[in-house]
Amino acid sequence: MKVFLLNILLVTFALFSTISAQTEETIKVGVFLDMTGQTASFGISTFSGIKMAVDEINAKGGVDGKKIEIFLEDDQGKPDNAKLAVQKLISEKNVHAIIGEVLSTNSLAAAPIAQAAKIPMITPSSTNEKITKVGDYIFRACFIDNFQGEAMARFAIETLKIKRVAILTDFNSDYSKGLSDTFGTTFNHLGGKVVGQKTYFQGDEDYSQQLKAIKGVNPDAIYISGYYNSVGIIAKQAREMGIKSVFLGGDGWDAPDLWDLAGNSLNNAYITNHFTITSPDEKAKSFTANYKKLFGLEADAFAALAYDSVYLLADAVSRAKTTESSKLREALAITKDLHGVTGKITINNSRNANKPAFILKLQNPHFIYNSTVEP
Ligand code: PHE
């Protein structure tokens, strides 16, 4: 009788523990971002986008019954910290997948760790080509710089009829260097002329030396491939020096703080970007409206790409029917036509996302939709 009771107890316990294990089993997603530091506005928007998608998915019961659980590490925007963050997420939190970072230099630093551990990593917004070349576990939800650099060079030549450009590059950024390269090469290739090239350091406050040299060659346009925090100051100082050239740039300009730095000096500039709040797409529209309701802010490219990254992962988990890393990797690699708020996402053979870029015109404080460049 005693043995019988014990057996029943054991069976009940075993049953109960499998049930509770099943209900408690989550999809563990590690997130590493620049939540503080020079580019914190990138990390904060990105995390808002992640949070919004995760809450939506979990409110609907999760992915095939499994809730998503987020583990956030702040890397302060520093490559060495980015590495440590990914190490910690993998060895201490046992995450099934990783989302991060924004800045190409930081994603590039951390990707080899995820690759070595065979944990799928998706960067929502790092556009430098080298990142996904690190290995077969590294993906991205955005287009690459070759695409956006080419798109802007073509737009400058064909639509704006620009013939002579100068290029300004952030010396310490892999992103900026890669983007300047592709833009310049394509611009030359299409019959334009690069008449000046200068570098600067992020965090510089005085750009007069570079701008004096550029003023001397009087270009029709100046392509600035860096981030908003430098771009805003550069544009302002250029106008103060009497430079009249059109400003052109990439996704790195996208931040509300841009306008505090630049005032009206970036009016009539053009950039390539991943997202526009003026998108006519229904999904994008409802994302924009909900984002504003939740956070009291206009959605930006970071938030939109981050939101799409979570759905990219959720879609792969649901097709793989497991969080086992090699199966999850395989599922991510064959993502096709996933309808995101930044467009339809198809992961190609290089694990990059084939998707459109938007050309936006700047008018303090707005980024106004101009046209779409299809992949
Ligand atoms: N593409 C940038 C990089 O790779 C980051 C970025 C994404 C900046 C989106 C602005 C908007 O470093």
Give me the domains of the chain, ranges plus CATH numbers: 2-143+280-356 (3.40.50.2300), 145-273 (3.40.50.2300)
> Which residue has a Cα nearest atom 6 of ligand 1?
252
> Can you give the pLDDT of all 375 residues of the chain as single tens digits?
444 444 444 444 444 444 444 446 999 999 999 999 988 889 999 999 999 999 999 999 999 999 999 999 999 999 999 999 999 999 999 999 999 999 999 999 999 999 999 999 999 999 999 999 999 999 999 999 999 999 999 999 999 999 999 999 999 999 999 999 999 999 999 999 999 999 999 989 999 999 999 999 999 999 999 999 999 999 999 999 999 999 999 999 998 889 999 999 999 999 999 999 988 899 999 999 999 999 999 999 999 999 999 999 999 999 999 999 999 999 999 999 999 999 999 999 999 999 999 999 999 999 999 999 998
> Which tokens in the block code for residue 345?
């996402």
Q: 34, 47, 123, 126: which to mutate for ligand 1, most atoms within 8 A of CB?
A: 126
Residue 201 C-beta-side C-alpha neighbours within 13 Å: 3
For ligand 1, what atom is nearest to the CA of residue 105?
A: 12
**CA distances in angstroms from 125 to 9, 93, 272, 288, 320, listed in the order given:** 52, 24, 13, 18, 24
For ligand 1, residues with CB inside 6 Å are 102-104, 125-128, 175, 251-252, 254, 301-302
**CA distances in angstroms from 352 to 147, 169, 183, 280, listed in the order given:** 11, 24, 19, 25
For ligand 1, what atom is nearest to the CA of residue 176?
A: 12
165 forms beta bridges with 194, 221
The runs of H, that is alpha helices, within 60-191 are 79-91, 104-117, 145-158, 174-189
- Digit-coded pLDDT (tens) for 136-151: 999 999 999 999 999 9
> Which residue has a Cα nearest atom 8 of ligand 1?
252
For ligand 1, what atom is nearest to the CA of residue 274?
A: 9
How many Å apart are CA 221 and CA 31, to the nearest integer? 38
> Which tokens in the block code for residue 292?
């504003």
How many Å apart are CA 54 and CA 60, to the nearest integer? 10
Task: Walk across the sheet containing 357-363 and list its strands.
Answer: 193-200, 164-170, 221-224, 246-249, 270-273, 357-363, 366-373
- Digit-coded pLDDT (tens) for 285-306: 999 999 999 999 999 999 999 9
Is the pTM here over 0.85, yes or no? yes
**CA distances in angstroms from 363 to 70, 296, 328, listed in the order given:** 37, 21, 43
- Digit-coded pLDDT (tens) for 6-44: 444 444 444 444 444 444 699 999 999 999 998 888 999
